[in-house]
Structure 1
Amino acid sequence: MAAGAAEAVAEVVEVGSAGQFEELLRLKAKSLLVIHFWAPWAPQCAQMNDVMAELAKEHPQVSFVKLEAEAVPEVSEKYEISSVPTFVFFKNSQKIDRLDGAHAPELTKKVERHASSGCFPPSADEHLKEDLSLRLKKLTHAAPCMLFMKGTPQEPRCGFSKQMVEILHKHNIQFSSFDIFSDEEVRQGLKTYSNWPTYPQLYVSGELVGGLDIIKELEASEELDTICPKAPKLEERLKVLTNKASVMLFMKGNKQEAKCGFSKQILEILNGTGIEYETFDILEDEEVRQGLKTFSNWPTYPQLYVKGELVGGLDIVKELKENGELLPILRGEN
């Protein structure tokens, strides 16, 4: 269906090109637009498409759209879609919120909130405030060192965030990050929660350390290294990870939920062998994602290791299966 044909009726519109997407943003600027970045190989996407269809019936004033992530890569890259399903919310042609993963209750809650009251929950709704407070507590405790920033460590989207990342990297500090542009609720709520009006914000063990100026002061006084946890050297970390289990699969997603077609296929092959294996989701750790390519001299994912040695990617594993060599290798007999 062409974007221009999209009417505010109980249906989910499918967009197949960047041009259609831009036209839809323009045509639906006044209403809430919910884009589902999906893939036909992912069963969780099909489930969420059903959820979208139901929400479209309940909210005829909201425009619900399906966009196949791998078929329209320029749009997926623009909005940093690295896994499916992902939902991006637009109002006035601007991104206002995002949801990663197949979370039907959370999607429903976000649609209801944005459809009824713009970007923020009603101030009178104490229940939503309590939910946000609990969510922020979980986020600030999500890793021993958590950085709330504009953008990602790989692509900071403001100078202060860029400087903060550079300082943390310079001191070999292990940290996880949250892009406050990806969630307007967190972006506004954390200012009140932390009583700190600007970004970036650095938390250690769930406690606010401060923003860039504070971190610079701690660096100058040589206190930063005593406050923040140190990261192990990457090569040592990769050796430990590749030897974590006898059979280790580095993939996009995990055993329960593959996030690319190649990873899904290799899971099906391994599950058919009956051999025990562990997985590592490279989408969750950019350092491992990039570092393992050099470590293994193998540029793509998935990557399969047996006893710390690289076997190869999907094509190699398929060949080994066809030749009857896969089981002996997985058992460590070769």
Structure 2
Amino acid sequence: MVTTITSQTEFDLFKSNGLAVVHFYADWSEPCQHMNNILNEIASDSEFQNVKIAKCLAEDLPEVSIKYDVFAVPKFVLFRNGDKVDVLDGADPIQLNKKIQALLTKGNQKEQKVEDINLRLKSLINSAPVMLFIKGSKSQPKCKFSTEIINLFKELGAEFSTFDILEDQVVREKLKVYSNWPTYPQLYLNGELVGGLDIVKELLKTGELKDLLKLGKSNLNDRLKSLINKADVMAFIKGSKQLARCGFSNQLIQILNQTGIDYETFDILSDEEVRQGLKEYSDWPTYPQVYVKGSLIGGLDIIKELKDSGELIATLKGEI
């Protein structure tokens, strides 16, 4: 849908957030009318569903036109969150399409970067049942707080893994934001933040720390069993329903979506322990993997065969 802007207030509101394209046009201009038709086509294309598109008569908004150097029409101004990021002068559908695609790509790359960092952090904190983020290593801690927590865990005879934040500045800074905890060391049990050294000391005094560490070492098979039974239909894939991260996972998601049957997914890229353990648990060496009511159905090839034979929906419903 192409929005028609008739006032400066509408203009300011329209461009204030997200990705936006505004066409400054004139009624008397045939090239402008042609480009309005092009905009209608772009607006109806699902590829550009995250881009807002509008048109406004340049002569009706003189102050806005002057501000954005609209001295001839058609002219297109592209915005991201209120900031002008690109312009196009003249009636050039191909260039307009390219500029809008570039607008989308840059926005997606920024979102992707944040998502990739968060996925990596999630993977790290889930890489062992008991995970410590410290300065240095088990054998060579590099600050007094890290040394103290390492010695404490060794005295308890606890099994744990560590990550040296001095080796990775991105992890060091972003984990503070991700977990809303500003200092190190940080202790995680089964992917959940427990806290820093002071919290660990308090838990030791109350006797709760030993119980928590036992929980941290809970049996992997129990965890896998819980995951595959989380929903009637569970798909273990690379990525998510919204953003599959490999061709096979993407094909599977498309097939499952076509059935109309509810299902949930688990991103194996976010948890290396699950990724490796599930292969052995189910004796199935590759991904994706699909489970129905806790039982393995198979991978993408099996799902395709069931689809071709007309048995897929019944299988996903647990009727076969």
TM-score w.r.t. length of structure 1? 0.44
Structure with a larger share of its residues in helix: 2
